[in-house]
Amino acid sequence: MEKEFKKIQETINRLYDLQTDHLEAFKKKPVPDLEKQSAERSNEVAKLMKSVNGFVKMAENKSGTTTESMLLSLNGKISTLLDQNKALETKVHEFRNGIKKSMKQISKGKQVIGSYRSSTAVSNNPRVISVTN
């Protein structure tokens, strides 16, 4: 049982480090690779879920203060991961909203630039001046 507990702790530590790196990527890189980050986190979360489910099934058969302390410890660490995940989710939403805002500004800029062109400047037809009255 302690072997499985250590395995869970290692997975939690890897996930914590991974999420920390992903949070730092927003500071270091102008455009972090969100798809890659999401895939990496999904893999680690799947491993964690599998390990925790196996551990809980084993813990159902055993009782005692050691088992309870292990479960409480896991609960605290997973709560920390969830808080970190919420911070990461907030960063991703802010980043995507910033991109949407920039795209709208670019679109408006294109429209404004297009409105400065007169229809005669766009056409290359020569003008004729009539001198007869």
Tens digits of per-residue pLDDT, 98-126? 999 999 999 888 888 877 766 555 556 66
129 found inside a domain: no
Query: Which of 102, 87, 83, 110 minimizes the C-alpha distance to 31?
Result: 102
Count the domains in the chain: 1
- pLDDT above 70 (res 133): no
How far is residue 85's CA from residue 21's CA, in Å, rounded to a whole number? 12
How far is residue 52's CA from residue 5's CA, in Å, rounded to a whole number? 8
pLDDT of res. 121: 53
111 found inside a domain: no
Give the domain range for residue 15. 2-88
Mean pLDDT of 30-49: 91
94 found inside a domain: no
109 found inside a domain: no
Assign 3-state DSSP to the chain and report helix, strand, coil percentages, each to 5.
Answer: 85, 0, 15
pTM of the complete model: 0.70
Tens digits of per-residue pLDDT, 86-98? 999 999 999 899 9
Query: Which of 99, 96, 78, 95 minimizes the C-alpha distance to 13?
Result: 78
> Could you tell me the pLDDT band of residue 22, with boundaries at 50, 70 and 90?
very high
pLDDT of res. 132: 76
Tens digits of per-residue pLDDT, 54-82? 888 888 877 777 888 888 888 899 999 99
pLDDT of res. 117: 67
User: CB-side exposure of 27: number of CA atoms within 13 Å?
Assistant: 6
- C-alpha distances (whole Å) from 7 to each of 12, 112, 120 are 9, 59, 73
